[in-house]
Structures are given as C-alpha cells and as structure tokens.
Structure 1
Amino acid sequence: MGNHFVHLIADLISLPMPTIAAVTGHAAAAVFMLAISHDYMEMRADRGFLYMSELELGMPIPPYFLALLKSKIPDPKVVRDMVLRSAKITADEASRKGIIDGAHGSAAETVAAAVRRAEDLAARNWNGRVYASIRRGALPEICRAVGLPEETEEERRRCFLRRLSSKQSQKLLLLITYEYLLPKAFRVIWPCLTNTSN
C-alpha cells in the first residue's frame, strides 16, 4: 500500500468540495480509512461493519491511520476498542457513537442518502478553495500525518482577498456597509456634530 495510499488520503482531504462515502458493506482496515477520510459517511445498517483488522493480522497500524481515527471518532474509548480489540462496529453502533452520519436499510438507500447529501451540499455553492482550506485547518493532525503542508496565514489572506473581489462578495459588503456600518457610525458621529456645548 505504501505511499500511494497516503497520497490518496491527502488528495481527499485537499479536494475543493465536500466528500461523502456510501459504505454498503464491510469496511475493514484501509477501506475503513478511505471511508472515514470523507467529510460525511452514510452506511448500510442491514449488512456490514467498520473494523480495524490489523491486530488480528499481526500488522502495525500506520500513524496516519491513527491520526484519522483520533480526529474523526469523538470518543477515545471507541478508538481504543477498534485498534486494541479489533472491535467490529455495526452501522447502528457507529451512528450512536458519532462515527457515521446516517444508517440506512439497504445498499440502495445508503447510496440514495449519500446522493441527497451531495446534492444538498452542492446547492450551497460554496467556494471550493475556501472549503478545502477550512477542512485542512479543522484537521491539522491528519494533515501533518499525511505530509500536507500547513496553510500559511498569507495563503488564507490571499484566498480571502480573491473571494472578496467577486461580484457576490462586493454586493454583500455594500449591504453590510449600508445596513450596519453606516447607521452605527451615524449614531456615534451625530452626537458629536450636534453637541453645541464646545
């Protein structure tokens, strides 16, 4: 597997769009890592489980796998049970434990839920660069583990300024200025202008 899989995970984390995994059967070891690398996970409830099989296979778990698990699974005890007991987690358990975003009755329902989520997110029409930047900022441990360089403040500023120059952003800034900043400035300045005691 080697470096190719690390690069695949790094590419997923860097994609300029939301990512959704539809898990329609067992997801063990690297397949589970691939699924959990996505922003959202929908899983089939009637068949399959999430499983880290390395302990039973006598293989060490790569550090970036552990970084993924610790960053994406909210409960450290669940991570412990998955890596040190090779616990098999069903969709219903994974949903209760906050590992997945939805458990569905069949493979078709799982894929349909993933497509619905993708359509809902695509309708938001977010800036892809900004989305990828925020994702990377939210997952610094994973980024370090897969060798992604940290985004500098200068890169964030440039991205913000590019976005700020769009027509949509300019309209929003005008609205904020007109609706919020000018009235506030007027309330501060007007008493100074009308104060005749000086």
Structure 2
Amino acid sequence: MIISSRPPVKSSSAGAMCTLEKRGSIFYLTLTGEDEHCLNPLLIGSIRSVLAQVKSQTTRGSVLITSAHGKFFSNGIDLRYAMAAGSYQAAKDRIMYMVDIFKSLVADFISLPMPTIAALTGHAAGCGLLLAMSHDYITMRSEKAVLYMSELDLGSSLPDCYTSLTVMFRSKLGSPSARRALLLRAAKVRGKEALEMGIVDSVHGNEEETMKAAKGLGEELAKKKWEGNVYAEIRKALYPDLCRILGLKNLEVLPSRI
C-alpha cells in the first residue's frame, strides 16, 4: 500500500519530497531524493501532510518509522532558501518562520498517537537532529552518519525561536556532558559515541542493518497493541517543558477496559 502526500510537495533543494508506505501495522515515512533534505516550508508542509494521513489511519498497534534516502537524514533548516530572500532582514525573517513552523512539526511528532522510530542512515544536523530526536527511538548507522549541531562552527547564535527548541536536549538527554558536546563543542558525533551519550538506542554496520533494526523494533512495539491516544498522552506527560514550548496540553484518557 503506497500513500503519497497529495499533491507531491517538492523542496527547493533538488526536489526532495516524502512518501508514506504502510506494511501491516507499520507506517514508513521516507524523505526521498539524494539531496540534503533541508527543512524549508515545502518539505515541512509535506511531512506534516503525511503525518496527518498517518494520524487519521491510526489503529491499535500502529508504529511509524522515518528514514531518508541519500547521505543525509536532514541537514537542518534550509539556509540557501533563507539567503535567497535578497536581504539580511528578509533572510532572518525566513529563518524565523521556518523554525516556527518546524516547531509545529515537532509538535505533530510528540502528539502522534503511536510509537515513532527514526532510522538514521545518513547525517542529521541542526534541526535535522532535532527532527530525529522528536521520535521515541533512534537507530543509527555506525559509519557514514554523524550527528552535528553546527551553529558554533558557523558563528551563529541560536535565534530566540530556535533557542526554545533546545529544551528538547534537556528533556531527552540526561547527561550535561552530552549536551555540552553537541552545543558547546560542535562535536560531530558518530554512532558508537552517540550510543554512549544516550542520543540513539542502537548502532548498526550499514544502511540495511539500520533499517532492519528499526523494523524489528517496530514489529515488537506493534505487538503490544497499545491504545494510541493513551500512548501520546503519556509521552506528552514525560516531556512537560517541551510540550509547554510547543503549546501541547495533556488530555485525560480513561481506561477502555478494567
């Protein structure tokens, strides 16, 4: 069963778009194309459209796996698109807007009524790393993939709207040294180190093994047949500071059976 966002939405960088495939209880969201999957309004909108489809088709035991073709999972906010605005202020406005709508995308993942897994077979940088961390689990390729927060190397502080998203590091990374390595050392973190730092859940030798591990984990979670709305509310309760930034509120869900 193949489901694509309709109409297909292409990004400004080499025509990337996302597709959705459902096999059994598992939805596979894929960023297609060999580009860097930079996050601009078109790509963000395309992913959000697909997530809306996923949410509308949720059943007990549904699971989402997100992956990407090419060398990048995502290289973050689309700076080329921003700089094409023609002036410093216009570029800044574009960046602020992209980060703002990216927050809505993060909110979609955090409130999605099913377990989510990011399969990183390529690099994840900046907001691309935050996109991966918006999932419940991360499987990662041990080589040819790094996690990287580039702002320090680029000589750019975090915009106000971006700073609010750094609460994700505090929410999901318990180790201050791990947060320091990412944000204050601009470390390019490979799989083994990412596992030791608690950023990812498993590391694998190649792309095929990384996807196989994500699929295996997805099948294991699907067998639980959890109620999606309950799962989403417990997830939101787990990250109250992040949800406050995202404007997400907890809803009470009573047991369907005793």
Same fold (TM over 0.5): yes
What secondary structure does 1:27 align onto?
Answer: strand
Answering whether residue 207 of structure 2 is matched by residue 107 of structure 1, we say yes
Aligned to 1:31: 128
Aligned to 2:139: 42
**Cα distance in structure 2, aligned partners of 1:26 and 1:103:** 14
- Structure 1 letter corresponding to 2:102: F
Answering whether residue 104 of structure 2 is matched by residue 7 of structure 1, we say yes
Task: Assess if the C-alpha contact under 8 Å between 2:121 and 2:145 holds in 1.
Answer: yes
Aligned to 1:52: 149
Task: Assess if the C-alpha contact under 8 Å between 2:152 and 2:186 holds in 1.
Answer: yes
Deviations 1:48-83 (A, max 9, x none): 111100111233331233111111112011101211
Aligned to 1:187: none
Shift of 1:143: 0.7
The structure where strand makes up a greater share of residues is 2
Please, which of 233, 243, 254 is the counterpart of residue 143 of structure 1? 243
Shift of 1:88: 1.3
Aligned to 1:186: none
Task: Assess if the C-alpha contact under 8 Å between 2:118 and 2:135 holds in 1.
Answer: yes
**Cα distance in structure 2, aligned partners of 1:119 and 1:60:** 41
The runs of 5 or more residues in structure 1 that have no matched partner are 174-198
Task: Assess if the C-alpha contact under 8 Å between 1:74 and 1:99 holds in 2.
Answer: no
Aligned to 1:129: 229
CA, structure 1 residues 64+112, in 2 after alignment: closer, same or farther (shift >3 Å)? farther
Aligned to 1:117: 217
Deviations 1:103-158 (A, max 9, x none): 0000111011111111111110000000000000001111112222x32xxx31xx
Give the paired residue count: 158
**Cα distance in structure 2, aligned partners of 1:141 and 1:108:** 36
**Cα distance in structure 1, aligned partners of 2:100 and 2:167:** 16
The higher radius of gyration belongs to: 1
Please, which of 173, 181, 184 is the counterpart of residue 84 of structure 1? 184
Superposed CA RMSD in Å reads: 1.2
TM-score by length of 1: 0.76
- Mean Cα displacement is larger for which, 61-70 or 11-20? 61-70
TM-score by length of 2: 0.59
**Cα distance in structure 1, aligned partners of 2:194 and 2:166:** 17
Q: After the TM superposition, which residues 56-71 of structure 1 pair with which residues of structure 2 at under 5 Å, given as runs?
A: 56-61=153-158, 62-71=162-171
**Cα distance in structure 1, aligned partners of 2:184 and 2:241:** 21
Q: After the TM superposition, which residues 154-193 of structure 1 pair with which residues of structure 2 at under 5 Å, given as runs?
A: 155-156=251-252, 159-160=253-254, 163-164=255-256, 169=257, 173=258
- Structure 2 letter corresponding to 1:137: A
Task: Assess if the C-alpha contact under 8 Å between 2:115 and 2:136 holds in 1.
Answer: yes
Aligned to 2:32: none
Task: Assess if the C-alpha contact under 8 Å between 1:63 and 1:145 holds in 2.
Answer: no
The runs of 5 or more residues in structure 2 that have no matched partner are 1-97
